[in-house]
Amino acid sequence: MKAKLTWFALFLIGVMFVSFATVVIGDVDLRAKHTDITEKARYTGFITEQPLSTGELSFIDIDDMPQGTKYVELKLSNASDKVKVTLFDNATTEQIIEAGISNGRNFIDLQGYYQYVQIRFAPNVSFDLLNLRLSNHLPLRVRHILGFILFLSAWTAFMVFAGRKGNVTFAHIAIFKRYIYLLINLVKMDFATKYRRSVLGVLWSVLNPLLMMIVMYTVFSKLFRVTVPNYPVFYLTGTLIFGLMSEATGNALGSVVGSAGLIKKVYIPKYIFPIEKCMFALVNTIFSFVAVLILTPILGVPLRPTVLLFFIPILYTLVFSMGLGMILAAGNAFFRDIGHLYGVLITMWQFLTPVIYSEDAVPMEVRAVFVFNPMYYYVKYFRDVMMYNRIPDLRQNMICLAWSVSFLIVGLVVFKVKQDKFILYI
């Protein structure tokens, strides 16, 4: 009875967390303040007013934006084609965002606070502008409800699985505690093996990112003329986080098969092996971080107080890598092709993440892919605290946490279900 009450309490905590995460990630507020400026905005260059028909220079000026404004809402009807809009900030004459909007309500994220915004429209399109409003949060929409249902279903499925007899109990935590010493010794053994017969030893963990940075800086800044400010630091911060995930998951993938001899001889919780590979990758990343910490001020980016938050994105990435690593390790035990395929996938993944290029260099249509890429959020988080002296808000933290916890839960479930059959295939 006590165990059932415990699981029920955990389920309710999960439901509250899912509700909170949905509201924060979706930036939802049922009491969101909406300011209608349809009549107050300045319209320039439109051929006709009803419906609005864009000319060669068609734009709407919005002055004196209220403090806290995050979104511009454009409600259209009778659009002759998909309307391409670009938002500019007059103070810097820099593009804020580019988007394609259509009939209905369209919310454009300003991605920052601006006192003045100019909305420029593509030419030769006509539409009826029903509303032009400014919002500090989003209203509840269908996608928020669907997201809540999806998250809640995943949590319910996990609790049903975990609550079954023998699947997950508090005794498993006690067992893990007993094997921490083994985990530490395996990390030490991997560390000694990696740098055996090496003259520079652990210094390679510091030199590798430095040498790669020199290569990338030469190729992209000199040959391809990439204009990202402080590109060496930009690359170092991106590759450190992505490298942690790549090394952790790549090594975890073969951890079960590579430890077949030990698994067949003695009893060891099999999840120790992929977790150990992730922890070993973390140790290497810490040494690489020292290099980044030393080079950052030398390369012209001063160290600010936000650097003290460096461990948060690293922790998010580590938890995510553990979950994905266990999924890969379980799959590779049955299908060795996964090991060959993953090398290609990780390369493609890196090019789909703003590691060697800026997010601004990607067309808006392609940028939508970033929403489904957890590494985008981890890399962005790390750059915010290391380069831009920004403390990520609660929404960004919740997105990172949701990706990490979700993959860890899925990884634990998949590994638990399949681990008893490993012995037959390794």
| CATH number of the domain residue 126 falls in | 2.60.120.260
Same-domain pairing of 131 and 186? no
What integer pLDDT is reported at residue 250 of this predicted model?
A: 92
Q: Which of 117, 139, 161 is the last residue of a domain?
A: 139
In a domain, 150, yes or no: no
Q: What are phi and psi of 354, to 5 degrees?
A: -70, 70
What is the longest distance spanned by two Cα atoms in the chain? 81
In a domain, 156, yes or no: no
43 has a pLDDT exceeding 70: yes
Is the previous residue joined to 139 through a cis bond, with omega within 30 degrees of 0?
A: no
Helix (H), strand (E) at residue 236: helix 231-253
Mean per-residue pLDDT, 331-358: 88
Same-domain pairing of 131 and 179? no
Same-domain pairing of 205 and 124? no
Same-domain pairing of 313 and 396? yes
Number of domains in the chain: 2
pTM for the model stands at: 0.81
Number of H helices, E strands in the chain: 14, 9
User: What's the pLDDT tens digit per position in 163-195?
Assistant: 665 555 555 666 777 778 888 888 888 877 777
CB under 8 Å to 71, separation ≥6 — which residues?
107, 108, 109, 110, 134, 135, 136, 137, 138
* Residue 311 tokens, joined: 């461990």
Same-domain pairing of 221 and 131? no
In a domain, 342, yes or no: yes
> Considering only 55-64, 113-122, 173-182, 254-263, which range has the smallest mean pLDDT?
173-182
38 has a pLDDT exceeding 80: yes
Same-domain pairing of 237 and 368? yes
Same-domain pairing of 262 and 364? yes
Q: What are phi and psi of 205, to 5 degrees?
A: -65, -25
In a domain, 244, yes or no: yes
Q: Which of 59-63, 67-71, 189-193, 376-380 has the highest mean pLDDT?
A: 376-380
In a domain, 148, yes or no: no
* Residue 247 tokens, joined: 């090394």
CA dist., res. 273 & res. 179, Å (int): 11
Same-domain pairing of 274 and 337? yes
Half-sphere exposure of residue 58: CA atoms within 13 angstroms, side-chain side: 19
What count of other Cβ atoms lies within 10 Å of the Cβ of residue 234?
Answer: 26
* Residue 229 tokens, joined: 């400010």
210 has a pLDDT exceeding 80: no
In a domain, 320, yes or no: yes
* Residue 397 tokens, joined: 């933290």
Same-domain pairing of 349 and 210? yes
In a domain, 357, yes or no: yes
* Burial class of residue 273 in the structure, from the number of CB atoms within 10 Å of its CB (0-12 exposed, 13-18 middle, 19+ buried): buried
CB–CB of 381/396 below 8 Å?
Answer: yes
CA dist., res. 354 & res. 379, Å (int): 8
Q: Which residue has the higher pLDDT, 227 or 149?
A: 149
- With CA atoms as reference, report the closest residue to 100 among 70, 127, 64: 127
The angle formed by the CA atoms of residues 297, 303 and 308, to the nearest 5 degrees, is 140
Same-domain pairing of 182 and 264? yes
CA dist., res. 238 & res. 379, Å (int): 5
In a domain, 361, yes or no: yes
Mean per-residue pLDDT, 220-236: 73
First to last CA, the chain: 40
Same-domain pairing of 195 and 130? no
What integer pLDDT is reported at residue 166 of this predicted model?
A: 56
Half-sphere exposure of residue 196: CA atoms within 13 angstroms, side-chain side: 7
CA dist., res. 153 & res. 168, Å (int): 19
What count of other Cβ atoms lies within 10 Å of the Cβ of residue 419?
Answer: 18
CA dist., res. 421 & res. 417, Å (int): 9
Tell me the residue range of the domain where 396 lies: 169-424
Same-domain pairing of 134 and 182? no
Q: Which of 124, 139, 154 is the last residue of a domain?
A: 139
